[in-house]
Chain A
């Protein structure tokens, strides 16, 4: 029988280290949030499977409630769940190639 010291601890990884990995390159569509129409209901934030909707948790502008500020393009895979669940339809999905062209101009 193995002694305690000899038992392998198995493979280990730093918690949350997947954030170093870029899954944004998967994206064919990019969500564009019209923050002027957004009612900051937090549905897109909670539903996003890739945790890619960015918020300020306690925003002065929102009287201490959370505020949606944009999308984390390093992790967003462009699934469009956020756009489908938004109750005021303020998230548009546009082709990534078009979005990239706009990025270059800016």
Chain B
């Protein structure tokens, strides 16, 4: 268990004065990701809310070496940096060991950055990749991404008389990462902060051997239509509805870190949907079947995950 008071003594390296929306949890995720590192960190960010808003010229909120080039290549960037440091060390020009961190949204991870990420992992580069998943292209005005859930209203999948928001299922990106056979892959949420810090620490350690990946739930204030202060509370509901299960895969072994069914805390998906205006149309009694369809998708994914974690699904 992480000692929060001791953890708080570490230096903060993603500071205030950035221009992210009030209440956006992405900078909290970035801040904690930097604090969790056991060595100095070099960061690469993909285009996205966090990148744009923390580095509005001539300001930067990052107190670490940080770089951005484009949307699609954050993992390629870090692969280059990691290799350069290796060569400089071998030539004796520097004598220093770093940790490498990529931080990107779902657009830069699930969609646009996927091939660079997949390639960098396969080539054996050693970096921690953190995705803050806000389930849309928020920075450019809430367009759908492959992380956007079923029936969510976005500017490219608006709700109309016939189509009720996004028609396609969300990509299960964490599982795509598991298929890359890294030492450590995890899913985390801010509501379970100690679990999240533990995962970040494990993620860095795993980069002694391979790349590592952590997917972190990151509610978007304007995109999802929620109140400024609700990101942490909504994360908790996402976890308790099993929409965003907390689990990790270490050396191929699945482990569920928190099972809301066991503690009797599992709640129906409507509790998650009803708090967000992007799902407002689902509350119309005419659309009750859509909620049932949504619930079925959540249950299917949850059952599959439980099986992988060795938990019997016939007992509940």
- A binding-site residues for B, Cβ under 8 Å: 10-11, 13-23, 26-27, 40-43, 45-52, 55, 57-58, 65-66, 72, 74-75, 77-81, 83-85
Q: Are B25's CB and A51's CB within 8 A?
A: no
Taking the closest CB of chain A, its distance from the CB of B158, in whole angstroms, is 27
Enumerate B33-82 residues with CB–CB distance to A below 8 Å: 54-64, 66, 69
The reply to whether the CB of B27 lies closer than 8 angstroms to some CB of chain A is: yes
By a CB distance below 8 angstroms, the chain B residues around A13 are 55, 57-60
A40 vs B58: C-alpha distance in the bound complex, in angstroms?
35
Q: Are A21's CB and B228's CB within 8 A?
A: no
By a CB distance below 8 angstroms, the chain B residues around A80 are 23, 228-229
* Selected A-B contacts with CB under 8 Å, 24 pairs: A11-B57, A18-B18, A18-B60, A19-B16, A23-B17, A23-B18, A23-B19, A42-B4, A42-B8, A46-B8, A46-B32, A50-B16, A50-B18, A50-B27, A65-B5, A77-B22, A78-B22, A79-B23, A80-B23, A80-B228, A81-B23, A81-B232, A84-B229, A85-B232
Size of the B side of the interface (Cβ < 8 Å), in residues, is 43
The reply to whether the CB of B9 lies closer than 8 angstroms to some CB of chain A is: yes
By a CB distance below 8 angstroms, the chain B residues around A75 are 16-17
The reply to whether the CB of B292 lies closer than 8 angstroms to some CB of chain A is: no
The reply to whether the CB of B88 lies closer than 8 angstroms to some CB of chain A is: no
Q: Are B7's CB and A20's CB within 8 A?
A: no
Q: Are B16's CB and A46's CB within 8 A?
A: no
**Beyond A18-B17, A79-B23: 12 further Cβ-contacts under 8 Å?**
A11-B57, A16-B60, A41-B5, A46-B31, A49-B24, A65-B5, A66-B9, A72-B16, A74-B16, A80-B23, A80-B229, A81-B25
Closest to A80 in B: B229
